[in-house]
Amino acid sequence: MSLVQQPEPFDDWDWIYEIKHVGFRALAVIEQGQCRFLSRKKHKLTGHQDLRAALVREGNAETALLDGELVVIDHLGRSVFADLMQRRHLARYFAFDLISLNGEDLTKLTLLARKEN
């Protein structure tokens, strides 16, 4: 497969896409009124207390498992990995998949159906 540069951004209703952020891939585990972040290898990612509290509050779920990216965004909307590493600014969590919700395994649903949740 060869990649071809396009003169304009790709947009097609038959395709879904996500912005590629440069950050830490993280699973957000919400349970018992708490949220913790885990790496893909299940290592605990520390810090980000305000963000974790906001995910619990805004998520409105007893339990949930989300897959996403911890990112620091600059004033132009670009991810800045160095700022994330140095914790110079508050991180954001960009969830791109909902794996489970309130004990229900959602991986049997299509990706589009999961994104609607």
Give the range of the structural domain holding residue 68, as residue numbers without chain letter.
24-116
Position 85 scores a pLDDT of 83
Contact criterion met (CB below 8 Å) for 99 and 40: no
> According to DSSP H, which parts of 1-117 are helical?
49-59, 81-86, 111-116
Helices (H) and strands (E) in the chain, counts: 3, 6
Report if residue 65 sits inside a domain. Answer: yes
The total of structural domains in the chain comes to 1
Closest Cα partner for 69 from 99, 114, 27, 101?
A: 27
Position 117 scores a pLDDT of 64
pTM, entire model: 0.81
Report if residue 12 sits inside a domain. Answer: no
- Residue written as tokens 């949740």? 117
In tens digits, the chain (117 residues) has pLDDT values of: 556 676 777 777 888 777 788 999 999 999 999 999 999 899 999 889 999 999 999 988 999 999 999 999 998 888 988 888 888 888 999 998 999 999 999 999 888 887 776
Report if residue 11 sits inside a domain. Answer: no
Report if residue 102 sits inside a domain. Answer: yes
Position 1 scores a pLDDT of 52
Report if residue 3 sits inside a domain. Answer: no
What CATH number corresponds to the domain at position 79? 3.30.470.30
Report if residue 62 sits inside a domain. Answer: yes
